[in-house]
Amino acid sequence: MKAARLVEFQKPLKIEDLEVPKVGKGDVLLKVISCGICRSDWHLWRGDPALVAYMQWSGGKLPITQGHEVYGEVVEVGESVAKLKNRDKVVMPASSTGDNRTCKYCMEGDSNVCDHLVIAGYGINGCFAEYMLVPERSAIDLVKVPDGIKPEWAALSSCGFGTSWNAFTMKTNLKPGDMVVTIGAGGMGLSGIVIANALGAKVIAVDVNERSLEKAKILGSIETYKYSGKSEELNEIVEDIMKKYGSVDVVYDTTGIPEAVIPFLPLLRVHGTLLLAGLMMKGKETFPLPADLVVAREIRIQGVLMLPAQKFDTIFKLMKEGKINLDPVTYKTISIYDVNDAYKEMSEYKNAGRIIINKFS
């Protein structure tokens, strides 16, 4: 089978021919149908420390097949697997249990923060491949996808969309009329706009890419701001938002870029929430917080890590009912052979939405 392997950080992924993995007693083998290329895959490819640390902590090492935003078809199950059968279509939540849901967090329904967390492409070989093996300790988290869901949408649910769902329905409880500023309008940010709109909230989007902002508008952002990297520019954006809309309920960061996020904190109302879902680049792992503001307004700072497996059914229900449209969130679909071009586009922040692998020849 073809697989795109990270052999050395920042070097092109190598397309290799590998054996299809053997299935053990409780394992599940997936034929990959579609697989998003998430910004966190790009972070690991760059060798950003948080991601490398996670890979090492979870038992992974180079070379590794990357990719965690997976939608696939079950083609073989181990003898002890009762829940799934061949031809079932499934997603593996980007953050899945690694202990068969036996730790405290898994038992409370939060397997996205499992004590033995498994993320494909980090601790185990991922989905930039024709086949992916889901190990016994994580197989319980595979979520069946009903018929009628587009493959790109299913893949996106695993990480980008799932994270934003967690952010806006679990970590905050967005209500009609709430105001949100989304920093970053990539796969995760655009998904957030879709969700916030579905919940009746109003979203202002900020991004460096004009085409991403056009998509944000299509998906219902009430206002968009292009940011080209200068801090004065951000102060002007913040002033303009304050003048037009007043303070906001939620600032949602999908970029992990401190200098792009902190200027927005004064926009938060009393009891407002800063949601952090972006991952950090080397040398920019720390956010300098205006602590006086956080105290004076009792601002909540909340991290968001993907979505627990138990919460996917509602997403698929809404997709089936036509209440969610993720077509604009997909930038393009590509062959596994074009994965390095995709990383190049992502390095230049040129991709407007998610790039999804759906061909393996």
CB of 188 to Zn ion, least distance (A): 8
Tell the residue number behind the tokens 């993320």, with chain if given: 119
SS3 182: strand
CB of 279 to Zn ion, least distance (A): 9
The nearer residue to Zn ion, 66 or 224, going by C-beta atoms, is 66
- b/e map of 29-66 (b: 16 or more CB within 10 Å)? bbbbbbbbbbbbbbbbbbebebbbebbeeeebeeebbb
Q: Are 163 and 36 in contact, with CB atoms under 8 Å apart?
A: no
Q: How many CA atoms lie within 13 Å of 284's alpha carbon, on the beta-carbon side?
A: 14
The nearer residue to Zn ion, 64 or 103, going by C-beta atoms, is 103
The nearer residue to Zn ion, 120 or 193, going by C-beta atoms, is 120
Tell the residue number behind the tokens 């790039």, with chain if given: 355
CB of 246 to Zn ion, least distance (A): 33
The nearer residue to Zn ion, 58 or 247, going by C-beta atoms, is 58
The nearer residue to Zn ion, 33 or 119, going by C-beta atoms, is 119
**CA terminus-to-terminus distance, the chain:** 10
The nearer residue to Zn ion, 99 or 259, going by C-beta atoms, is 99
CB of 291 to Zn ion, least distance (A): 30
CB of 58 to Zn ion, least distance (A): 12
In this structure, the chain runs to a length of 361
Kindly list the strands in the beta sheet with 179-183, ordered across the sheet, starting from the edge strand earlier in the chain.
Answer: 223-226, 202-207, 179-183, 248-253, 268-276, 300-303
Count other Cβ atoms within 10 Å, centred on residue 192.
34
CB of 98 to Zn ion, least distance (A): 6
Q: Which parts of this chain interact with Zn ion (CB under 5 A)?
A: 38, 40, 94, 97, 99, 103, 106, 114-115, 159
